[in-house]
Amino acid sequence: MEILFAPLQGYTEAAYRTAHHRHIGGIDNYYIPFVRLEHGKLLRRDVRVLDRAAADRGVLPQTPQIIASTTAEAAAVVLEITSRGLGHININMGCPFPLLANKGKGAGILPHPDKVHALLDEVLDRATGAGATVSVKMRSGWEKMQESMALLEILNPLPLTHIIMHPRLGRQGYKGECDMEAFARFENECEHPLYYNGDLTTAADITRITSAWPRLRGVMIGRGLLADPALALEYSQGAPMPRVARLAAIGKIHTDVYAEYEARIEGGQSQLVKKMQAFWEYLLPEGDRKAHKAIRKATTTDAYLRAVNTLLAGA
């Protein structure tokens, strides 16, 4: 039973993944938020993302992810990844953001089996030629769950290593319940190793899913891990991490992430504070609500760090 850390653009960046792995762990693989082409080139930010992933090979188990709608785009991004010696590529067919989905990227590609087929063929061709393997992260559909069922005809025969299924529709965004019936039907007919993804926030949630579907290769968790970074470890060890130890570990992760952004971010204190505020958005070490508010309101690093210290002191 593997546990994968889901990619969340803006939250699970390299600094966070590295610090989480160092101070808590319990994760089999960290998925990197998608990289993409814009105007025919990788974004500068994404060049850094892939260079860093290549540098961290062997230190941090992680998987780069691409998002693309055309075969030309996909071929170019795959080359960026394989030329850096990264050996596995995940294809995003789940992103619901309209700006991308309207261009047939992410979940926007799901209603178009012909486009999915062309994209996967291209990525598999290029990746395999360079010695890399390929997996897919997808939703149950854009408009209706029948879309993912129809895609199984294409997906099943292809040499994918695995599929990660988030059983929501693209048009739902992140709202509403996961559709467990859609997941059950997909699981029943999917011939690839499968991971479940969506709304797992406690060790009991993970157990519920893995008992219901014993054939699963594992689960992928995003927001649940950001809220409780020890969740995977707690599941595998069968016991909750004591509160004091958890706060201490969160403190260490925070110190590393802060140090990295402090060294890198240009644009002064307010930029740094803004960037760090995202660290706390999902994270709720049960504690001082006043300190939480102070973190959100801080505009200087002094005020920010004072609030963080109060929160982590275990109020």
244/314 Cα distance (integer angstroms) = 7
Binding mask 73-112 for ligand FMN (x = CB under 6 A): -------------------x-xx-----------------
The amino acid occupying position 40 is: G
Any long-range contacts for 281-286 (C-beta under 8 Å, 24+ apart)? 281/11, 281/226, 282/11, 282/223, 282/226, 282/227, 283/226, 283/227, 283/229, 283/250, 284/227, 285/243, 285/246, 285/247, 285/250, 285/311, 285/312, 286/243
The closest of 95, 100, 86 to 138, measured between CA atoms, is 95
Contact call for residue 8 and ligand FMN (CB under 6 A): yes
Q: Which residues pair with 137 in a beta bridge?
A: 92, 164
Cβ distance to ligand FMN smaller for residue 200 or 291: 200
Cβ distance to ligand FMN smaller for residue 5 or 291: 5
Contact call for residue 195 and ligand FMN (CB under 6 A): no
Among 167, 224, 229, 285, binds ligand FMN (CB under 6 A): 224
Strands 218-221 and 2-5: parallel
Among 69, 135, 140, 197, binds ligand FMN (CB under 6 A): 197
Q: How far is the CB of 72 from ligand FMN (least distance, A)?
A: 21
Contact call for residue 171 and ligand FMN (CB under 6 A): no
Helix or strand or coil: residue 242? coil
Q: How far is the CB of 243 from ligand FMN (least distance, A)?
A: 23
Give the footprint of ligand FMN on residues 267-296 (CB under 6 A).
none
Contact call for residue 221 and ligand FMN (CB under 6 A): yes
Cβ distance to ligand FMN smaller for residue 4 or 19: 4
Residue bearing tokens 């879309």: 147
Residues near ligand FMN (CB under 6 A) are 6-10, 33-34, 65, 92, 94-95, 137, 166, 174, 197-200, 221-224
